[in-house]
Amino acid sequence: MPAERSGLFCLPMPDQALAGAGIEAGCLLAVDGQGSPVQGCLVVAAVDGELLVRRLQRSGSRLQLLAAHPDYPLIEPSYEQDFAIWGVVAEPAALATRQA
């Protein structure tokens, strides 16, 4: 992982995709850039230049990024896309706060 994406950093939730899980747009999230993305965790992912925060789902060898809001579709990155996981959200329920 590149140095600029390592360690702990904060990121404001970019959209309402996780509003159904209690994480609203603008909430500050603590992200561990060295955390291991595992089934069911929240990840910060870059997909075709767009930064997203979604729940990671593994289905066999496929990865899926799930939202907790019906207006946001399931994302299943393909080999043709520019895709990278930048980090894992650390304890979202405890660390998510409304940005001032």
Domain ranges of the chain: 3-98
CA distances from 30 to 7, 38, 47, 48, 91 (A): 10, 17, 20, 23, 8
- Among the CATH numbers 3.40.50.300, 3.40.1380.20, 1.20.930.40, 2.10.109.10, which is that of 3-98? 2.10.109.10
Q: What's at 38, amino acid-wise?
A: V
Which residues in the chain land under pLDDT 50? 1-3, 93-100
18: alpha, beta or left? (left if phi > 0; alpha if psi -120 to 50): alpha
| Predicted pLDDT of residue 90 | 85
* pLDDT tens readout for residues 44-73: 999 999 999 999 999 888 899 999 999 999
